[in-house]
Chain A
Amino acid sequence: MIGRNQIADRHIGSLLEDYPFLSSFFRENGLDFEGRDDSTLNQMFGEFDEEEQEERAIDPDLLMKQTAEFINQMLAFLNEDNEVHSLTILPGTDKSGEKEGFDSLVIRKSEVISIVGPTGSGKSRLLGDIEWVAQADTPTARSILINGDVPDSTWRFSTSKKLVAQLSQNMNFVMDLNVREFIELHAESRLVENPGEVVERIITEANKLAGESFSEETPITSLSGGQSRALMIADTAILSRSPIILIDEIENAGIDRKRALNLLLSEEKIVLMATHDPILALMAHRRIVIKNGGIAKVIETTEEERTILSTLEELDRTVLAYRTRLRAGEILIKG
């Protein structure tokens, strides 16, 4: 751990050399640090007279403390071995207080689990339990283990170390950026070393998933639904550090869903997918059935179900082909 005393009298230049991520910290905190390599941190923070401190709401003491805290967080983030090989769910109870219908559910990297059940049956609580790494201390009394062990509490409280990334149904963008700028911004916040390469890869992968291709110059707000989903899935697969991806339904339009899942799996993610769509439900290796706030059953997809899946996929392709032809202005004929 680096204490404030270890940094207070160091020069800005040498601090930036050791901790390059400090530049965004200084910038976001409105500190004018460019060309100040030879001042110490103490000097830079101490420069504000009382009036300026008031005016700009700067508290040098708090700032020094937070600088040290930020350095420690980032060092931990960069060095730590956060690898999650498996996630274990230990049963709690449903809304009526009945024990859940499984003994222990171990989910491994590159596995897809679908979550089925009526709306409002407790899917978000399950996700909440995983995100909060519940230790029998949530309303369901479930416990979550990581790599077979009781995880440490940093999974709960750290900003950069999040267990779950969530791909929701509405993938709206609100920022006024083009695709490249947007991914660059995300890459910057993840402290990736080779942003250019990563951005390139994400756009390429996203275009493989999307029915209609887009360029890096396309403004994100003008992407179609399918393109946005494709971009978000590729971005999450490649840039997000979270080992678990929760998908809340992938709409069946303008995106190759099978390919999307494969991309996530090739990045060694654990994929949890809440869905009402039989194709997605059966694409998973196993499915969790939720009822009355609890996990009623865990079912392994059977061989027979896999053949049913092929039939469904065939139907799906037929529907898609008709859709494409209608959009192109064709008149449909049988056969």
Chain B
Amino acid sequence: MNLVTISGPPSSGKTSVILKTIEALTRRGLKVGVVKFDCLYTDDDVLYEKAGIPVKKGLSGAMCPDHYFISNVEEVTQWGIKEGFDLLISESAGLCNRCSPYIKEIKAVCVIDNLSGVNTPKKIGPMLKSADIVVITKGDIVSQAEREVFASRVNLVNPSAVIMNINGLTGQGSFELSTLLHDEKNSVDTLVGRELRFTMPSALCSYCLGETRIGESYQMGNVRKINLENRQ
């Protein structure tokens, strides 16, 4: 089975792109499943089910969804293998622009949209910078010039990636993406021993552990303070 991790800011068009891409993969006779990771709530599983795609969802609740993802990715991989998928796609929303769920040698796709503004690419960390493929959606609602500027900004922060424009509504471009996702050679049996491409931020402060009160005397562990001094 191949595993592909697809990540991107909330509502960037991940599900729309995945649904259209799976149509093209299915036409090639491939069996595809999806696992959706989110924080508090998602309806995506209903959308996948409606399209007849086997799906599992995981809600991280109070935990960081990317930490939750990596703690569960081996289990869902085994689920996918047991179901006999040729390809398992994981969809996860990058919430803090800092985490990224990408694993070394596992194809990583980042989905961002043209509406998020030309300064967004530089604000997104490893989720964008270390992706193999960057999909840009919602090109239908901005001008050609804005599409070109946005793509060039993405290219500046990740020159290694293949950048593709996909319309999540019509699926234009999703066939092309589908040709890049499955390759016998990239088959995996287990992820045990594999590594993340980038560390997740270290946390564990008192608020991670359930503290709700404000004030220095309640803050322990990994605490960092804002710098309010004027810089030169």
Q: Which residues of A contact B (CB under 8 A)?
A: 24-25, 28-30, 54-55, 57, 59, 62, 65-66, 69-70, 73, 124, 127-128, 132, 137-139, 156-157, 159-160, 165-168, 170-175, 182-183, 185-186, 189-190, 228, 232, 235-236, 239-240
Contacts and interface: CB of A to CB of B under 8 A. Distances in A.
Contacts of A159: 151-152, 154-155, 163
A235 B145 contact: yes
B198 A59 contact: yes
B172 A124 contact: yes
Contact of A168 (B121, B140, B175): B140
A236 B145 CA distance: 7
A49 B175 CA distance: 43
B144 A236 contact: yes
Given A28-B121, A59-B126, A174-B142, A189 B160 contact: no
Given A59-B129, A175-B146, 5 more contacts: A55-B201, A128-B175, A159-B155, A185-B149, A190-B152
Interface string B121-159: 110011001100000000111111111110111111111
B156 A70 contact: yes
A73 B160 CA distance: 10
**Do most interface residues of chain B lie in helix, strand or loop, or is the interface mixed?**
helix
Contacts, number: 110
B162 interface: yes
Contact of B159 (A54, A70, A138, A190): A70
Contacts of A54: 199, 201-202
Please indicate which of the listed interface residues A132, A183, A189 has the most CB atoms of chain B within 10 Å of its own CB: A189
B170 interface: yes
10 contacts: A29-B157, A57-B98, A66-B160, A132-B175, A139-B175, A172-B142, A173-B146, A175-B117, A232-B143, A236-B145
Contacts of B141: 170, 172, 174
B140 A239 contact: no
A302 to B, nearest CB: 33
A39 to B, nearest CB: 19
Interface size bracket, B side = 35 or more
A168 B154 CA distance: 22
Interface of B: 27, 98, 114-115, 117-118, 121-122, 125-126, 129-130, 139-149, 151-160, 162-163, 170, 172-173, 175-176, 179, 198-199, 201-202
Contacts of B98: 57
Contact of A128 (B139, B151, B176): B176
B144 A57 contact: no
Please give me the 6 A-B residue pairs with the lowest Cβ-Cβ distance, nearest first.
A57-B125, A189-B152, A28-B156, A70-B159, A159-B155, A69-B159
A132 B156 CA distance: 22
Contacts of A55: 201
A44 B226 CA distance: 25
Given A28-B122, A57-B198, A232 B144 contact: yes
Given A165-B144, A173-B146, A128 B172 contact: yes
Contacts of A168: 140, 144
Nearest to A68: B159
A69 B160 contact: yes
Contacts of B115: 174
Please indicate which of the listed interface residues B27, B162, B176 has the most CB atoms of chain A within 10 Å of its own CB: B176
Nearest to A29: B157
Nearest to B133: A157
